[in-house]
Amino acid sequence: MQSNDKIKFAKIMMGMSESFVSKNKPSKELIETYFMVLEEFEISEVTRASNEIMKTWKNHYMPKPAHFIEIIDGSKEDQSLEVWQYVLKQIESKGISNCHFDTATNNAIRSVGGIEAIGLLDRDKLTFKQKDFCRAYEVTEKREELKEIGNKRFNALTDNLAKKLGATADA
């Protein structure tokens, strides 16, 4: 979302708050927090997610940003199934030896016996591999996310340290 989407987003949040909580309006801080967490998405995606929540939400509390994200991105199970379908499509179109995937996908493939085990398996037996792959993918993707977060934090710390050392050297 862009900063010019804040008014539309605030209206969405106010409508949801009235529907799920009470007639009280959400605080400015709450709206800003939700906006900050969801700003990587387009306002159209957030609007679609809020409409879906309004149709299906049965609780008497505001849905958390994670609920919006799950509707926009799909659940972890949905995502792993999409990756599985992508792997099968790549094997079918490029062949076993010409497929290249990201780290999480490669790790999940290795955990179920490798690309050959998937590519050479009878189609009627792929369902069992699919379940194993999806479980493995969810785990390996989470590890990769945590590594990425750790790397960003490490880089931020080293950047800050370098700035401090540079400021000390200048003094």
pLDDT tens, residue by residue, 2-42 = 999 999 999 999 999 888 877 678 899 999 999 999 999 99
Q: Which of 73, 90, 105 is the last residue of a domain?
A: 73
In the chain, what's the furthest Cα-to-Cα distance? 71
Averaged pLDDT score across all residues of the chain: 85
- The verdict on 117 and 166 lying in the same domain is yes
Is the pLDDT at 171 greater than 70? The verdict is: no
For 23, phi then psi, to 5°, come to -80, -10
What mean pLDDT do residues 44-55 have?
A: 94
- The verdict on 58 and 95 lying in the same domain is no
Token pair of 45, please?
């995606």
- The verdict on 69 and 82 lying in the same domain is no
- The verdict on 27 and 101 lying in the same domain is no
- The verdict on 80 and 69 lying in the same domain is no
Rg (C-alpha) for the chain, rounded Å, is: 22
Q: Which of 73, 102, 120 is the last residue of a domain?
A: 73
In this prediction, residue 10 carries a pLDDT of 94
- The verdict on 49 and 111 lying in the same domain is no
- The verdict on 20 and 96 lying in the same domain is no
What mean pLDDT do residues 40-58 have?
A: 92
What mean pLDDT do residues 124-128 have?
A: 83
- The verdict on 47 and 83 lying in the same domain is no
- The verdict on 68 and 84 lying in the same domain is no
**Domain that residue 52 falls in:** 3-73
- The verdict on 84 and 163 lying in the same domain is yes
Predicted TM-score of the model (pTM): 0.56
- The verdict on 56 and 110 lying in the same domain is no
- The verdict on 60 and 86 lying in the same domain is no
In this prediction, residue 157 carries a pLDDT of 65
Q: Which of 30, 46, 73 is the last residue of a domain?
A: 73
Q: Considering its fold, how many domains does the chain have in total?
A: 2
Per-residue 3-state assignment (H helix, E strand, C coil) for the chain: CCHHHHHHHHHHHHHHHHHHCCCCCCCHHHHHHHHHHHCCCCHHHHHHHHHHHHHHCCCCCCCCHHHHHHHHHCCHHHHHHHHHHHHHHHHHHHCHHHCCCCHHHHHHHHHCCCHHHHHCCCHHHHHHHHHHHHHHHHHHHHHHHHHHHHHHHHHHHHHHHHHHHHHHHHC
